[in-house]
Chain A
Amino acid sequence: MKIVALCGVGIGTSAILKVNAERALARLDIEADVTATDIAGVQSVGLDAQVILTSSELVDAIGKTNADIVVIDNYFDVDELTAKLETALG
C-alpha cells in the first residue's frame, strides 16, 4: 500500500507529515510505504497511491486522482492521523 504526504515544496511540512503518518500506521499495525512529495510531483507519485495526506489549503491543487484525499489539521497530532487513516483504510 502506498500513502503520499503532500506539501507545497516537498520539504519540511510533508516530511513531518510522513514521520507522524508512519507513527500512526505503526499504531494501527498497517504496513504502508509513505512518500513525501510536492504539488509538482503529486500526479506522478500519487498515481498508485491509496491515500493522499495533505492540508486543506492544498486539496484544490491536487487535481484528478483516484486516491482518497485525507485533510490533516494538526500535523503533530498522531491521534488525529491515526483516526483519519483508520477511517480511510478501514
Chain B
Amino acid sequence: MPLPPLPADAIAIGVHVEDWRGAVAAAGDALELSGSTSPEYTKRMIGVIDEFGAYVVIAPGLALAHARPGPDVHTEGLSVVTLAEPVAFGHPHNDPVSVVLGLAVTSGDEHVLLVAELANVFNDPRIIPALAAATDVDSIRALLGVTAPPEEQ
C-alpha cells in the first residue's frame, strides 16, 4: 500500500529555524496548512518532546514529530520539512536533524499501514540525505514514492 498523496502545502523545503522547537513547529505548520490539524496539535507535538526527550529522532538526521490523536486532528496527515541548517534535538546518536516528518492520526489503529509504508521507504538509508538535499516538491514526492493529490495534478 503506497503512502497517501502529499499536497504541496504539506511540504516545506529549506526552512530556516533557530532550534528544535522551530523545526517541530514548521512540521506542525505544514500539517495545519494542508488541513490536517489545528495549531493546538503543533503545541502538543512540542510538548511530547518536552516531556519525553528527543526520542523522536529515530534515525540519523530524521525526527518523526507526533502526538496522540485528539480533537485538534481533523484528518490523518503527514508533513515533510527540510531544514536549511540542521538543528540539534539533544539525541545522543542521531543529531543533527535535517529532515522533520510531522505525523497526525485520528485513532491509534489507523496509522499502522501508513507507518509500515514509512518504514518501507526509510529502510533505504539513502533516503534521508536525499530528502535533505531535495530542492523541489516533486523530488520530495518521488523519493517518498507518493503522488500529488488529484486537485494539484
Find the A residue at minimum CB distance from B127: A76
B97-140 CB mask vs A (1 if < 8 Å, else 0) is 00000010100100110011011001101000000000000000
- Is the Cβ of A16 less than 8 Å from the Cβ of B111? no
Within 8 A of B (CB), among A52-77: 54-58, 61, 73-77
B69 at the interface (CB under 8 A from A): yes
Task: Give Cα A67–Cα B24 distance, bound, in whole angstroms.
Answer: 33
Instruction: Pull 19 A–B residue pairs with CB atoms less than 8 Å apart, ordered by A.
Output: A8-B52, A9-B48, A9-B68, A10-B68, A13-B56, A13-B58, A13-B64, A15-B116, A20-B119, A39-B52, A54-B55, A55-B58, A56-B55, A57-B91, A61-B52, A74-B59, A76-B119, A76-B122, A76-B123
B66 at the interface (CB under 8 A from A): yes
B116 contacts across to A, CB distance below 8 A: 15, 19
Where the two chains meet, the residues of B that have a C-beta atom closer than 8 Å to any C-beta of A are: 48, 51-56, 58-60, 64, 66-69, 91-94, 103, 105, 108, 111-112, 115-116, 118-119, 122-123, 125
Within 8 A of B (CB), among A8-37: 8-13, 15-17, 19-20
Task: Give Cα A78–Cα B56 distance, bound, in whole angstroms.
Answer: 18
A54 contacts across to B, CB distance below 8 A: 55
Partner of B123, one of A7, A10, A11, A20: A20
Partner of A13, one of B66, B92, B105, B108: B66
Report the number of A-B residue pairs with Cβ-Cβ less than 8 Å.
Answer: 83
- Is the Cβ of B125 less than 8 Å from the Cβ of A8? no
Where the two chains meet, the residues of A that have a C-beta atom closer than 8 Å to any C-beta of B are: 7-13, 15-17, 19-20, 39, 54-58, 61, 73-78
Partner of B93, one of A7, A15, A16, A56: A56
- Is the Cβ of B119 less than 8 Å from the Cβ of A74? no
- Given A56-B92, A74-B60, A75-B58, verify A12-B123 contact (CB < 8 Å): no
Task: Give Cα A7–Cα B60 distance, bound, in whole angstroms.
Answer: 17
Find the A residue at minimum CB distance from B68: A9
Report the minimal beta-carbon distance from B73 to chain A, rounded to whole angstroms. Answer: 11
- Is the Cβ of B93 less than 8 Å from the Cβ of A73? yes
